[in-house]
Amino acid sequence: MEGLSVNVEFLHKDEFMKKYNKKGKFPSAYIKNEGLKLFISQEEMNKLRNLDELIALVKENLSNS
């Protein structure tokens, strides 16, 4: 995402499961360090109404981690 200080990779569910061999609820977002950690849950993602809300949530979660 433009303006963030982290690298972002967008994957479809099947691409994610193949690449990381991990199941989850989608849509969702993970942060990758030594492993994968849930960053934005499916429930949080489904409440978002637009891209601006997603960007705000990502920035908020980054500042809290």
The phi, psi pair for 52, rounded to 5°, reads -60, -40
Q: What gap in Å lies between CA 47 and CA 61, rounded to an integer?
A: 15
Please give the pLDDT value at position 24: 86
Can you give the pTM of this predicted structure?
0.81
Report DSSP state, residue 29: E
Query: Quick check: 59 pLDDT over 60?
Result: yes
Please give the pLDDT value at position 33: 83
Q: Let me know how long the chain is.
A: 65
Domain boundaries, the chain: 13-64
Kindly give, in sequence order, each residue whose CB lies less than 8 Å from that of residue 45, ignoring residues fewer than 6 positions away: 27, 28, 29, 54
Q: For 8-56, write each residue's pLDDT tens digit.
A: 888 999 999 999 998 889 999 999 888 899 999 999 999 999 999 998 9
Q: What's the CA angle centered on 42, arms 60 and 47, to 5 degrees?
A: 65
